[in-house]
Amino acid sequence: ACCSPSLPSLKSAAEQGDVDAQLQMAERYFVGDRVPFDQTRAAFWFKKAGEQGHQYGFYRLGQIYEFGQGVIPDIQLAARYYEKAARLNGADAQEAFVRLHVSGGLGEKDYLAGYMWQLLAMRHNGLMFKASNFGAEKHLTVVERQDAERAAQDIAEEFR
């Protein structure tokens, strides 16, 4: 009993708006840790956390909708949640958003948007992102790269 709150107190805290408790409840439902396995309920708690401005909540919702985990897969909805998390400076979501743009997961391949989000993700110096450079810039002109760099800088200003 040293470290984690009881399930009833965790649930109560989540219901009262504690974002960390909401994320813990979401993860527990997602894997069935001391609660029934219920990815739909997990999505509910991830959304609650995201709506309070926690990027990880929106990022996990993006994953849930991209991969159809307890919901009908919806790549457009996944992209909207990834973008919300990316705009909250979530590196994982920025990388997922790059992948969707560059792979054509949202329709046409969009190297300009991909490169812009790639620049933002690279600001985190995360090992994961360094291992997965999508090379969007190779498909862009110098002017397009400069446009993407300006757009990325504008978004990065919002992070401050």
How many angstroms separate the most distant Cα atoms in the chain?
59
Instruction: Judge contact between 45 and 29, C-beta under 8 A.
Output: yes
pLDDT of residue 122: 83
Q: Which candidate, 109, 71, 33, places its Cα nearest to that of 63?
A: 71
pLDDT of residue 119: 87
Model confidence, pTM:
0.84
pLDDT of residue 83: 94
Owner of token pair 């920025």: 94
pLDDT of residue 2: 55
Those residues with Cβ within 8 angstroms of residue 69's Cβ, 6 or more apart along the chain or in another chain: 30, 39, 63
pLDDT of residue 85: 96
Instruction: Judge contact between 35 and 29, C-beta under 8 A.
Output: yes
pLDDT of residue 125: 65
pLDDT of residue 1: 47
Positions of the chain with pLDDT under 70? 1-4, 125-133, 160
pLDDT of residue 30: 96
pLDDT of residue 96: 93
Rounded CA-CA distance 18/40 in Å is 20
Query: DSSP characters for the chain?
Result: --SS--HHHHHHHHHTT-HHHHHHHHHHHHHTSSS---HHHHHHHHHHHHHTT-HHHHHHHHHHHHHTSSS---HHHHHHHHHHHHHTT-HHHHHHHHHHHHHTTTSS--HHHHHHHHHHHHTTT-HHHHT----GGGGS-HHHHHHHHHHHHHHHHHH-
pLDDT of residue 148: 87
pLDDT of residue 38: 94
